[in-house]
Amino acid sequence: MAVARILVCDDDERIRQLVHTALDDSRYTIQDAEDAREVVEALETGRFDLLIIDRVLPDQDGVFLLGELRRNGFDAPAIIITGHGDLNSARDALSFAATDYLPKPFNMEDLQRLVRGAIGESGYPVGNALIEREWRKAYGYDLVMSANRVAEQCYVAAARAAKTEVSVLIEGKTGTGKEYLARFIHYVGPRSRKPFVSINCSAVPEHLLESELFGHEKGAFTHATARRVGLFETADGGTLFLDEIGEMTMSTQVKLLRFVQERKFHRLGSNDEIPVDVRVIAATNKNLLGEVQAGRFRDDLYYRLAVVPLRLPPLCERPEDIELFAEHLVLAHSQRAGRPQVRLSPEALQCLRQYSWPGNVRELDNVMQRALLLADGETIEPQHLLLPCQDLTAASTGLAGAGLDDVLLPLAVVEQRHLQRVLAAAGGDRKRAALLLGLDARALARKLAEHGLDAGGARPPAAPRPPRTKTKPRPRARA
């Protein structure tokens, strides 16, 4: 008979001994760990069928560690041990991060019951459909975690909404991960085996959006040379994600409202109603309720879409997530590139914490990809980040030996370099440089000040001319 391997992580030796006593059975092999580091080392050297881990570890939060393990491919069931004071937050976090939780103090019967539920009566692992590796391969799905209380509550609400059929509205600034959260809701819900279809409403011209959503018949309008199946039909049985819904025109809002109410629509140019079973998840970077109050968005549609309203806070409001996300992104991108040992230096992490991240998680992702490209060794240093808040001249100089063209650098660096080159070509003459750049003198001065540049080598200003004396005009001679 196969023996299930169990990894137990708790810094309290009495808890570990209690687990050994409760699971003293030939069906189980148990290995101990005292902190997060030992858990990672154990998983690097072997595969386990169950992880029993304390919520509070000496070096890391147990739930966040579990989230990192999930993202890195650990797909076995997990049981979180938690004190009564952390019970509510643990229960919420586990709704999408683990199999179950075990409050302290616990007895052996409770532990045995949870282990049997996670591994099975026979000792063979029964798995967890939510975190099966095949799902992640098929859908590109990844668990969402956060160390921020507001963001965690948003993810917990999303996990609960995923189990229902209600409409969800996700609000958040550009780059906060709204589509990522929408995919999470789809793939942990009952529609996970059906299509997930997305459309950015702001990227489609107004006169084409209706056709994209509902389809059209041949001859419905000029250039409609064939029947087109819309996205509602394509997403039948699954989820349609409407990104930037706040950009939708009033006329299209009316037709969307009718569909949300009746689950039926008709293609352009047809009177035949088509019923489909589609869950709608909408997202916007605007305050949609404010748009309703301003008369730019229908209130009846808003309340139909926002049955479960979720707000993803921007990265500047969740500084505790910057390091968590940065390390995860570096690990994910370095593994894809075949460089699994790359890490962020403490100095680089400090630079990341000090930046305001106007582009949110999307910008952080781009910065991590670029830093991996620029870092030759196993450590990412501050000069590899090229953040706008850094000394760009020093950062770009530090990359001189990398053999990289300007096309790989941020726009601010490229603009700074170009100004320097034009000034050098103009011999430091600002007027001439402004002419070469197609700018007036004031605009050039603003650009130079913006990048902290001096006109270096500019010609000294000419000596002031003496003021002209006005002479009385001579009277014209009369004919």
Find the DSSP H helices in 13-148: 13-22, 36-45, 62-71, 87-97, 108-119, 133-139
Q: Read off the tokens for 318.
A: 């969740």
Q: What is the maximum alpha-carbon separation in the chain?
A: 129
Of 131, 142, 66, the C-alpha closest to 101 is 66
Q: Which tens digits make up the pLDDT trace of 91-138?
A: 544 544 566 778 878 888 888 888 887 775 444 443 333 334 434 444
Q: How far is CA 141 from CA 79, 333, 461, in A?
A: 22, 15, 63
For residue 448, pLDDT beyond 70: yes
End-to-end CA distance of the chain: 128
> In sequence order, what are the residues at sequence separation of 6 or more whose Cβ sits closer than 8 angstroms to the Cβ of residue 157?
308, 310
Q: By the 8 A CB rule, do 326 and 352 touch? A: yes
Of 48, 53, 68, 66, the C-alpha closest to 15 is 53
Question: 74 or 39, which is more confident?
Answer: 39
Give the pTM: 0.58
Report d(CA 117, CA 91) in Å as an integer. Answer: 17
Q: By the 8 A CB rule, do 92 and 112 touch? A: no
Q: Which tens digits make up the pLDDT trace of 41-57?
A: 999 888 888 899 988 88
Which SS3 state, helix, strand or coil, does residue 269 take?
A: coil
Report d(CA 470, CA 479) in Å as an integer. Answer: 27
Bond from prior residue into 105 cis (ω within 30 degrees of 0): yes
Question: What's the pLDDT score for residue 91?
Answer: 52
Question: 111 or 474, which is more confident?
Answer: 111
Domains annotated on the chain, with CATH: 4-130 (3.40.50.2300), 149-311 (3.40.50.300), 316-408 (1.10.8.60), 415-450 (no CATH)
Pick left, alpha or beta for residue 464 (phi over 0 → left; psi -120 to 50 → alpha; otherwise beta): beta
Of 132, 174, 113, 477, the C-alpha closest to 314 is 174
Q: Which tens digits make up the pLDDT trace of 220-238?
A: 777 777 888 889 999 999 9
Report d(CA 101, CA 66) in Å as an integer. Answer: 13
